[in-house]
Amino acid sequence: MIRILSSAVLYALALVLPADASAAGFAQREDVRAFIEEMHEKHGFDRTRLLRLFRQAQPQPKAIKAILPPKDPSVRSWHAYRARFVEPARIEGGQRFWEANRSTLETARRTYGVPEEIIVAIIGIETLYGRNMGRFPSLATLATLAFDYPPRADLFRRELEALLLLSNETGQNPLAYIGSYAGALGMPQFLPSSLRNWGVDFDGDGHVDLTASTADAIGSVANFLASHGWEADGPIVAAAAVTGDRYGELVDAGILPRFLPAEMEAYGVGPAVDAPQLPCALIDLATPNEATEYWLGYRNFYVITRYNRSSFYAMAVNVLSQELKAERTARLAAR
């Protein structure tokens, strides 16, 4: 989930696409030609080949429409977000995915220290276990966001560069990549830079394929989390209650774990009785017209937000993982 200021949204809406962009594609644009020259100078790409590719890539205005945040950020609801992702189809589908890939998931846990239920939950939330991997042409989508979406242009320009480098490394036609409206790829929805940095050949067939290889998807999710500091057997969250008027200082301090639960007491934060005395952050999960939930987010919670920089996302992964684990435990006991 990408969040931006409302003023940036208005700016983006005013500059979504040049009037002739759909007809001309990208190849005739000065900013695109400057990018092509940069790719030639930095990485040795052939200018003519890149021009040909961008001539074939057509702008994707639907990607910009999809990526814009809500006009009114106050409508964001943790309860609605949770209901969207922690629901019967993902729990039932997760049981089938877990059972079908139990050996691979166990190997990933032993290799990277990431529990099976966390890996299954992330793939379930991202693509419903590979059912919804996106239908946007990745090159055209990333070009649209890189050159026609100013609020996040730098990010998507880097990802466009990464996609072209990835295609060179794998020998795959850049026009063949299909993914989400944000350019994410495969079952775990890795951006191209993440695929290049943390994708792993977990099935041992000589290449990384996050679309067709469930093993590679599982291993890559585990590798991503481990590489960002996942602590094996470490806590994720603990419930908290707040009083007084100082706890907002901890919320404003961000989600990087830096306070012990005992230190939070001076700010009016009362953690659960058995909360681990480890560095954590105070996480607020708001729902309009309902009481805000407060949690202590530990290192592993923060690591999940490196996958998607949203506290809602990280908590949904945590909740779904617990539902998946409980359901699997019950089914195994009933056998």
- Is residue 281 within 8 A of residue 291, CB to CB? The reply is no
**What pLDDT is recorded for position 219?**
98
Q: Residue 152, SS3?
A: helix
- For 4-40, how does the pLDDT look when each residue is reduced to its tens digit (9 = 90+)? 333 344 334 444 444 444 445 798 899 999 999 999 9
pLDDT of residue 250: 97
Q: Is the pLDDT of residue 189 over 70?
A: yes
Tell me if residue 327 is catalytic: no
pLDDT score of 261:
95
1.10.3720.10, 1.10.8.350, 3.40.1390.10, 3.40.50.720: CATH of 6-70+134-184: 1.10.8.350
| Percentage above 90 pLDDT, the chain | 88
pLDDT at 22: 45
Report d(CA 301, CA 318) in Å as an integer.
8
Decide: helix, strand or coil at residue 194. helix
Q: How confident is the model at residue 274 (pLDDT cuts 50, 70, 90)?
A: confident
Structure tokens at 104: 């691979």
According to DSSP, the residues that pair with 240 across neighbouring strands are: 271, 294
Strands of the sheet with 269-271, listed across from one edge: 269-271, 237-242, 293-297, 281-285
Set 126, 159, 161, 323: catalytic member: 126
- pTM for the model stands at 0.91
Quick check: 161 pLDDT over 90?
yes
Domain ranges within the chain, ordered by starting residue: 6-70+134-184
The 10s digit of each residue's pLDDT in 282-318 is 999 999 999 999 999 999 999 999 999 999 999 999 9
Element (H, E) at 242: strand 237-242
Contacts of 286 by beta carbon, 8 Å cutoff, 6+ apart: 76, 77, 78, 292
Taking the C-alpha atoms of residue 195 and residue 192, their distance in angstroms, rounded to an integer, is: 5
